[in-house]
Each structure stands twice: as structure tokens, then as C-alpha cells.
Structure 1
Amino acid sequence: MIELYGWSDALQLAFEPHARAGYVPARVIVQQREADLVVTDVGTLSARLSGRLRHEAREAGHPAAGDWVAVSAKAGEGTATIHAVLPRRTAFVRRAADSVQTLQVIAANIDVVFVVTSMNADLNPRRLERFLAAAWQSGARPVVVLTKADLCEEPERQAAEIATLAVGCPVVVVSARQGQGLRGLMDHIRPGETCVLIGSSGVGKSTLVNALVGEERMATQDIRAADARGRHTTSHRQLILLPGGGLLLDTPGIREVGLIDADEGLGTVFDDIEQLARNCRFRDCGHTTEPGCAVRDALNAGLLEADRWAHFQKLSRELAALDLAKDRAAQVVERRRQAGLQRAYRSTKRDLRDPDS
């Protein structure tokens, strides 16, 4: 069964130490708070973390949907215990809502990232650039999916405009309700490969899942006329087998993607600006008033859109601020650790001076 979920010879080799310990391989297909669902060769089981792994997860994070894990299975009871997580090939991460330093993995071992945005009033090139930067950073292949083509008067023109922003990414135009573009979308998923859909709430991810799976798998809600948005309707992450042999990892709607160490992803999305900056006269050019600035020349000549340049600057500042916040948080943790060591040292000295206390 696990071959259907992407099990390979490379995974078998990585799993050998766990096999010698008596564990069996499994893949997390539904990520939930209390107990995950994992698929194994003895069936789909409800799995909880072992005590040791639960302790380690406080620092490393819990297994995510798409993870390959080592479990001890009780097929008769329909349960399993997760003892280890295999190394991830790729991962899509975001910053945890309550932490600067903590990364939250929302998709593991993915091959294709479908960056989904709708072609109605919600189409926002700047938001798309943010999602693309995070998608490239994941290590998977990004594909831009423009949904709700039936609500757009000029879908070909809009797709061409988006293609200029998503250099190096295929752009697929679909209308799930009309069945348009779905075959072309499936061509990007090979048998055994795992894809993930990311995008803002209401861009049609759940409707697209229903169309790809061929059944009403996910609940959907109508678009609010006031702002052309829907409400996200998926409450947990789950891995779904597709008719063509691929797998789809459906995730809740993400309103904002936090850029986590996404320097490479940002550089890929804005490669045109990176190339311009390399042609500046000065290596440390600030792209303001310096002579020989290729970026300013491109802006003045209309070869670089001012909005695109401004968004690149904004995301660059966001990454820099995040790095600074992480450094400050690390300093606070280190000060607390040192203070704890000092308290322990003083307590030990008191005990040595007064052994009867």
C-alpha cells in the first residue's frame, strides 16, 4: 500500500536502521492535534507520538502531513506509535503565530507546489510574489495556478502578465466549475509525486481539490460578493490519492505567508532585480542617489515597475527584521540560560559552605 503513497528505494535505504529496531514505515496522511492518521502496509492507523519523540518535538516540531515515519503498529486495534521521523527531502514552512524562532512545517516531502490565486478581484501580483518566494524556498517545483477563469473577462491577458512575474514557473489557467485546464494541471504531477496547494483563503483550493479528486471531498463556500473572497473551509491537513497516481496535500487557507530564511526564494522570484543590482557601479550600492545605479536607471527608463521594486524592498526588509528578531530572541534565551547557571552555581557554593543547611 505504501508504494501508492510514494515509497521508494531511497526511502527503504534510509529506513533500514528503524527496520532493524522492529518498526515499520508509514506516511502521515492526516495531521491533527491529538492523533495523526498514518498509512502503512497493514492499513490506515491512528498514531500518537512516543514519549521520547513527544519530548523532542518541543524543539524539532511535530510530524507533518507528508512525513515518512517509523511506527510500531497494532493493526488489530487500529493504532500505532510514532517513534521517529525520516529526514525530509523538502518542506514548506511558515513562522508559528506565537513565536519568532519556531518554524511550523505545513507540508513535508513535496515535489510540486501549486501556488493558487484566483482571476477575480482577489488577483494580487504582490501577494503572489510572496507565495512564490516561499514556494521556491521549499525545494519543490512551483507551478502558478490561476483559478476561476470563468470570472475573468480576459484570462489570456492576465495569465501573460502573471507569467512575466513567475519566471521559470509554468502558469496554468483553470476553471474547476467548467472543467477547464484540469488535464494540463494533472500533467505536472507524476505518479508517486506529492503536490501541495497554497494560497489565500477563498481562491478556490477546495473546489480545485474536488475537481482533481473527482468527488465532493472538501466542503466549499460561496464567494462573498463584497470582496470576491470565500472563507477557508479545510480545518486540517490531509494527503489524498489522485486518480492519476499522484498525491495531493490539502492545507488550510493561508492568509499571509511568513518568509522564513527565504533569501534564495526571494532571489529566484526577483532574479531580474538581482541581475540589475550586479550591474551597478558600486558593489554596496544602496540604489538611491549613487551614480551608475543600474536599478535606478531601469526604474527611470520604465524597464522595472516601481511597484515591483517597492515590494522587493519590503520583503527584503521583512527578512532582515526577522533575522534581527531571531538574533534578539536567541540572545534572550542565552541570557536566561546563563542566569540559570549562575543561580545553580551560587546555590552549590552555599551548600558547600553550610552542609547542614
Structure 2
Amino acid sequence: MKNNIVTKILIIYTVLIGMLGILLKDNEISKTERRKLKQAPVLNYEKVVDGSYFTDLDDYTLDQMPARDVFRKIKGITSKYLLNVKEENGVYEKDGYLFEITKTSENSLDYFINKINEINKNFKANTYFVKIPDKEYYEDNIIKKDYNLIDDKLKNLDSNIKQISISEELSLKDYYKTDIHWINSNLEKVTNKIKSVMGLEENSSYTEKMLYPFYGALYSRKVSSVKADKITYLTNETIENMRVYNYEKDKEEKVYNEDYFHNIDSYDIFLAGATPVLKITNNKVADKKLIVFRDSYGSSIIPFLAENYHEVIVLDLRYVKFANLQNLDIDLTNPDDILFIYSVNIINNSFSLK
């Protein structure tokens, strides 16, 4: 009798899942897994004969399974509480946060220092460097990078580069739970510290906006019980009126583009995401020019710094060689200030810099 009940439940469940799969519209992307999902394969004779159609059909069925995220969540809860699995794909869960576990690469540190010093020789301007701590720095009892070694290596930056420490202006709550990045709306102390050292006027009048849900890069690598983040960002009239020219796409962008929230990586709302070269124009300031060398962390703090300049050139050396910039219509001459702002994640994985 008991077996009959279980069998009936399984049959009903299978039928319901199948019906939902037919009735529901296919999703193009998975926000939680940060990837494109398989779409229905085209049926043709060749694919049936070689068997690839059925393989593609299996992949499509799995990707478009109704309540897929619910099953991922159940798996995460089971792994955490029943199997006591805390680490997966280099991602560790603790206290409601996901952390990335990576070893320190001394070779990468040396490469980074040499790269910055090499570029620095091309400019004569007030030059600054900001190291952005990773969120692991603020959590106890987890595997961390060798921060003392990193700081010792950074002492080898050229002497004219003024280093700005921001570690005291941050804490764990200033980072996303499911992502490696810091939270735009929590960066007032950091921004004011940088502006103070650079001799810039502080700005404090902003409106906060919020987008939900945000599933970060770490969430896609570990099935967990951690809840979705929300993206909160600060804006004002000056930021909204800035013009952002994207050299790669040959078009103007918004500083914050909420349409990009629906991309695979919702963090793309900040300065159009992974982009080699941008030029920000702020007509509220008559002059002053800043050149910023940055990684993805810089995308969410640069808007605040741009309030103090007429022009900001934003360069991401992961996607363009410095030597190749001369082939683009970019004026790198006569900057007032140069800022290198890099996260520990890139400093420790700097071979991605061209």
C-alpha cells in the first residue's frame, strides 16, 4: 500500500513537471548560474542519425526544467546541513557570505608591480594607487591570502606613486554576500578618503536606488543557502548628466544602466561592465582631467570621483594593451591626476593584464 502511494506521487510529480515544461516559456539565461541556458534543438535528419539531437535534447530538458533554482537550493541546504560540505569550486560559505579561496601568487605580485611601474613612466602627473581589499580580509577563520607579502611587494611601486590605504574605511558588510565586489552605496567613507588625499572636494548629496535580486559570481560556483543580494547604488543630477563614451561599442552609455541588470552579470549596470576604454565627460566641471587604470571594482566608485573632473579616461588593461591605445582616438596627454585602483583579486592574478 505504501509503495503504491509513493509510486502515484512520483507519477503525478513527473506529469506535472512535464506539463509545466510544455506550458512555461523557455528562459534564455540563468541569473543564479550566470550563464546562457540551452534552447530547444532543431530537429533534422543528420542530428538524429549521429545522435547529437538527443544529447542536445537532454541538455535542453535539464536546463529548462521547471523549478530548477528550487532544486539547486535544496541541494545546497542538503550539502550544508546534512553532508557538512562548506567548500565547492574554490568557494566557501560562512556566516551567510560566500568567500573565494585562493592562494597568494608571488609571481603575480611581481608582474603587477612591474606593469604599474612600466605604465607610470609614460606620465608626469599627480599619481595615486589604491589597493582594494577582498572581503576575505574582513572574515576570521578562513583561508586568506598573504596580505603582509602583498603589502611588502607594493612598497616596490615607483616612489612618485602615492599609496592610499582604505582598509580601515571598509568592513565585511560593505561587500555583497554572493559576489566578490563591494557595494556602491556603502563607499562614502572610501570615496571621501581618496578625495581627501587627492585634494578633491567631497560630495554627499545622493539618491539611493535599488535592484533585486542580484546573484553574484560566487553564487554560480557554489550551490548554497545564501540568499540573493540586492544592488543599491547612489546617484545625483551630476552623475545622471555625465556622458560616457564606450570606444569598443562606439556609442554613448549611461553611468548606471539598469537595462544591463538583466544581463548574465547584473553588475554590468556600472559603467557598462567589462569594457576596455571609456571616456566620461562631466560638464558641471570646467576643467581637470583624470586617467584611471582599474578593474571591475573601479566601475562602482569611479562615478563619485568623476564628479570632480571635466574628463575621466577609464582604462581596463585586461582587455586592451597600453601600447595599443595610440591606435584609438584617445587623448592621454596632460592629465592632472593618474589613479591606479585595483582589487587584491587582480593584484594576485595580474597575468590577466595585457
Which structure has more relative contact order (CA 8 Å, sep 6+)? It is: 2
Q: TM-score, normalised by structure 2?
A: 0.25
